[in-house]
């Protein structure tokens, strides 16, 4: 398994729950774990202050960024965890 620590060039993850849009500020996020439940992709978000929340995200969204080995693009449904570097 390849574990990649990256800094992602976006500032927030947006989730739509029914008709409500939720924005999670990534600058305040420690890590995000992704799990599949039926047809939904759940993101378990752990904030730097220890607060946890679970949101449904679009697994077809493309995640892109830069890592030590170069640039990458991957569908969110193929990601299991994102760890954010603390500055």
Judge whether 25 and 14 are in contact, CB under 8 Å: no
* CA-to-CA separations, 44 to 14, 66, 69, in angstroms, rounded: 13, 23, 27
**7 located within any domain:** no
Count of domains observed in the chain: 1
Residue 3 inside a domain? The answer is: no
Q: Does some domain include residue 31?
A: yes
Per residue in 13-31, pLDDT (tens digit) is 545 445 566 667 778 889 8
Q: What is the pLDDT of residues 30-71, one digit of tens each?
A: 988 999 988 888 889 898 999 998 888 888 888 887 778 888
Q: Is residue 1 part of a domain?
A: no
In a domain, 32, yes or no: yes
Residue 73 lies in a domain: yes
The DSSP output letter for 18 is T
Q: Is residue 20 part of a domain?
A: yes
């Amino acid at each position: 398994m390849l574990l990649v620590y990256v800094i992602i060039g976006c500032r927030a993850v947006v989730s739509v729950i029914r008709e409500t849009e939720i924005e999670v500020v990534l600058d305040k996020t420690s890590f995000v774990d992704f799990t599949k439940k039926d047809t939904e992709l759940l993101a378990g978000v752990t904030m730097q202050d220890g607060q946890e929340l679970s949101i449904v995200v679009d697994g077809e969204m493309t995640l892109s960024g830069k890592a030590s080995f170069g640039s990458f693009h991957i569908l969110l449904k193929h990601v299991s965890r994102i760890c954010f570097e603390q500055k």
